[in-house]
Amino acid sequence: MNTIQEMFQVWSMLERMLAFVLLAPLLGGLIAGIDRRVSARFQGRYGPPVLQPFYDVLKLFRKERIIVNRFQNFTMVLFLIFTIFSGALFFAGADLLLTIFSLALAGTFFVLGGFCVGSPYSHLGAEREIIQQVAYEPMVILMAVGMYQVTGSFKVSVIAQYQSPLILYLPGVFAGFLYILTIKFRKSPFDLSMSHHAHQEIVRGMTTEFSGPTLALIEIAHWYENVMLLGMVYLFFAFNPWLGIGIALLTYLFEIFIDMNYARFKWQLTFGSSWLFTAVAGVSNIIVLGLMKI
């Protein structure tokens, strides 16, 4: 029953970091493959093999490198490094806020890459990417705040071992987090800045000028990020590890469902609705918790 929590205690910090670095891309790629399969089934198609994302990435690594300028690939390398770093911090049980800040740093490098190439499509994608960042950032911070209010610590390791169910204290925060999770997973209706699979928006948005191995790096970073985000969902249900994992996977299924059922929003609606939803669900939850403490 509590094997996962025992794992947390038995494995040292470094072991957990290493496990994340090695296993997360496998898990992330697999989830992406299942995602494509399930999406296809939603549309009445057969869909690609489950291992398709790995085929794509391996193919991309074999493509020729073409560049617009010399520095564009460097930003994406930094993006990958800092995404892995923040994920590793998260699974090592470090400070949740620090994790969020370093994830934001990774996101900034990603955006700067989009700006750096000086292409109109990429630029537009980068602008939208910042708007998305701004749309989800308050809720992500508020999630950490809410968890701190309940457990009295920002440490992921402490939050993960908190015995009573966090979700009961933070239903609003969880709802808000679900909302912005759609942005983070780059799913419709919020996949404005760069789109996945067969969706198309402003050509390929952010990634228009990135091809071959660099595109593969972006894809891998995305896998790492997804696993980390599912880890955050897990935290809400950490009192029962199996339930936590189950809910995390269900959440992903739910996001696919949303993805299949919505057309893309305009950035105005994305931004406005995210902040509003954060204010209604997240902020009210935080204030209620604050009042309860007093």
**Taking phi first (over 0 means left), then psi (-120 to 50 degrees means alpha), and beta for anything else, what does residue 64 get?**
beta
248 vs 259, beta carbon nearer other proteins: 259
**Which residues are CB-contacts of 219 (< 8 A; sequence separation ≥ 6)?**
53, 56, 57, 60
Subset of 119-178 contacting other proteins (CB under 8 A): 119-124, 126-127, 130-131, 133-135, 137-139, 141-142, 145, 148-149, 154
User: Which of 10, 22, 46, 263 is close enough to bind other proteins by CB under 8 A?
Assistant: 46
Buried b (16+ CB within 10 A) or exposed e, 235-267: bbbbbbbeebeebbeebbeebbebbeeeeebeb
4 vs 201, beta carbon nearer other proteins: 201
Q: What x-and-dash track marks residues 204-243 binding other proteins by CB under 8 A?
A: x--xxxxxx--x----------------------------
Please identify which residue in the block is written with the tokens 């994992």.
245
Minimum distance, C-beta of residue 150 to other proteins, in the bound complex (Å): 11
Stretch that binds other proteins, among 3-11, 65-73, 164-172, 181-189 (CB under 8 A): 65-73
122 vs 188, beta carbon nearer other proteins: 122
User: Which of 52, 161, 240, 273 is close enough to bind other proteins by CB under 8 A?
Assistant: 52
Phi (first) and psi of residue 46, to 5 degrees: -80, -45
Please identify which residue in the block is written with the tokens 């290493």.
18
Subset of 262-281 contacting other proteins (CB under 8 A): 268, 271-272, 275
Instruction: Quote the CA–CA distance of 249 and 252 in Å, as a whole number.
Output: 5
Q: What 3-state class would DSSP assign to 78?
A: helix
Residue 38 sits in the site that holds other proteins (CB under 8 A) = no
| Residue 220 near residue 80 (C-beta atoms within 8 A) | yes
Size of the site for other proteins (CB under 8 A): 91
Q: In degrees, to the nearest 5, what angle opens at C-alpha 233 toward C-alphas 106 and 24?
A: 55
User: Which of 3, 7, 49, 168 is close enough to bind other proteins by CB under 8 A?
Assistant: 49
Tokens of 294: 């007093």
Minimum distance, C-beta of residue 47 to other proteins, in the bound complex (Å): 6
Stretch that binds other proteins, among 169-177, 185-193, 253-261, 284-292 (CB under 8 A): 284-292
Q: What x-and-dash track marks residues 85-124 binding other proteins by CB under 8 A?
A: x---x----xx-xx--xx-xx--x--xx-xxxxxxxxxxx
134 vs 168, beta carbon nearer other proteins: 134
193 vs 241, beta carbon nearer other proteins: 193
User: Which of 14, 15, 26, 59 is close enough to bind other proteins by CB under 8 A?
Assistant: 59
192 vs 247, beta carbon nearer other proteins: 192
Instruction: Quote the CA–CA distance of 82 and 193 in Å, as a whole number.
Output: 20
Subset of 173-202 contacting other proteins (CB under 8 A): 197-198, 200
DSSP assignment of 198-223 equals T--SSTTGGGGG--HHHHHHHHHHHH
Instruction: Quote the CA–CA distance of 128 and 123 in Å, as a whole number.
Output: 9
